[in-house]
Structure 1
């Protein structure tokens, strides 16, 4: 895997590439890194995965915390693509990465050849209710020492709901308490959970490129209804529901790779 740096205003970002062929910019989720899309990227499909780790993620610098937003992350990707001098590319992402990809397709359609929206946590609006758990953790980390923040979180009725209906979400959320640096994790969770892609339904409905939307059940942070809604807006979209990660993580990854491989090969 190749690793490089890309400078943006106020920060230096890590860029990873794997595979050979046409570029596919495939972005990670909130508080994730390049390994997340790497786990579900299919080999030997004639595409080269490019993941730009967003500010404050992976080994990318955070830069000014006031700049942390989906709009900034999207602009950073556009800046990277402009520096490469390439034509339209396939753009996609998981969760927050899906919101970044959706914004790029609306705001800079000339850069997007095709679109992959996986497990979307946003449709169009900012501060969706499904992101409340992430926001709560960010606020707790911002106001209390880690152990006290964790204790207060575990006492919430929300935890029982997550244990019952979305154990994979709960595992990810608990992981935030171990993420360093704490101040950056808190800033990301607060800023991005109350943010949105800042696009309208009319703008999303105007997307004309081939689009793959991936979703699954047993997920309260990424409701299957969000995936269905986005797929219903985009005329050229195909929705595929895969094995929930909470049911079988290996089957989830295998299903994801299979449907992504099929979509990329068709392109």
Structure 2
């Protein structure tokens, strides 16, 4: 097994790093940005996702993921300051990257962050439960089990559209890494104390959406409030208005990177 990060590179111009969310892959951002976007965009499959079939030897954490992304960029000989964009888990990794090496991050774009500095947030508890169940049985049996899980039923009653993100976890091509990330990543945090974020000096865009129990808007608002040079924007709901959501995120990103 090679410790290679599989990725797609598209476009010309300054570098932009685009990190997907938990259970996603490089297409999450690729489907949002047009082919003629005026940046050299790097879309990786993060470890344990997509075609990148390896994972941390011990525990998956934001710290480990951020180090691996920096190691990958070093291997590509990208030494200049770069903007880093992330969705959900990718937003947390981007934030941790800025905490680790602030001198290398030009701008941060954090879309629907799902973590603050408290491990095992309630909004992600369903992923831990389904990961543990999946470790004991099959994806099909886990899907059946979900139908009687209280948290799943609550999501179904309040916002059934968001269940696509839950179901999608069970379709991931790498079951063993998928199980580990579902169980381990909710227990990690992208920053330890608010003081870490107060020291960031790069420009930061944080985008949150309503009607999203997996990515509550207060997490995006709180994250932005802790960073001195952050701006917060509400975008259309990801699950109930996906086309409008993608349009809003793209427009904010394009204007922010100018």
Interval containing the TM-score (normalised by the shorter chain):
over 0.9
After TM superposition, list the pairs within 5 Å mapping 1:16-165 onto structure 2: 16-42=8-34, 44-83=36-75, 84-165=77-158
- The residue matched to 1:12 in structure 2 has which SS? coil
Q: Which residue of 2 aligns with 1:3?
A: none
Q: TM-score, normalized by length of structure 1?
A: 0.90
1: distance between equivalents of 2:201 and 2:59?
30
In the TM superposition, what is the alpha-carbon distance from 1:71 to its structure 2 partner?
Answer: 1.6
- The residue matched to 1:148 in structure 2 has which SS? helix
2: distance between equivalents of 1:260 and 1:201?
25
2: distance between equivalents of 1:168 and 1:195?
26
- The residue matched to 1:246 in structure 2 has which SS? coil
How many correspondences in the alignment? 257
Q: Is the 8 A contact 2:66 2:97 kept in 1?
A: yes
Superposed CA offset, 1:77-131 (max 9, x none): 1112223142110012000000000001111101101111110011222222211
Mapped pair 1:251 → 2:244: yes
The runs of 4+ residues in structure 1 deviating greater than 4 Å are 42-45
2: distance between equivalents of 1:117 and 1:146?
30
Q: Is the 8 A contact 2:55 2:177 kept in 1?
A: no
In the TM superposition, what is the alpha-carbon distance from 1:255 to its structure 2 partner?
Answer: 1.1
Mapped pair 1:222 → 2:219: no
In the TM superposition, what is the alpha-carbon distance from 1:61 to its structure 2 partner?
Answer: 2.2
Superposed CA offset, 1:194-242 (max 9, x none): 2222432011111111111011011111110000001111111111101
Q: Is the 8 A contact 1:33 1:53 kept in 2?
A: yes
Q: TM-score, normalized by length of structure 2?
A: 0.93
RMSD between superposed Cα atoms in Å: 1.8
Q: Is the 8 A contact 2:24 2:49 kept in 1?
A: yes
Match of 1:202 among 183, 187, 195: 195
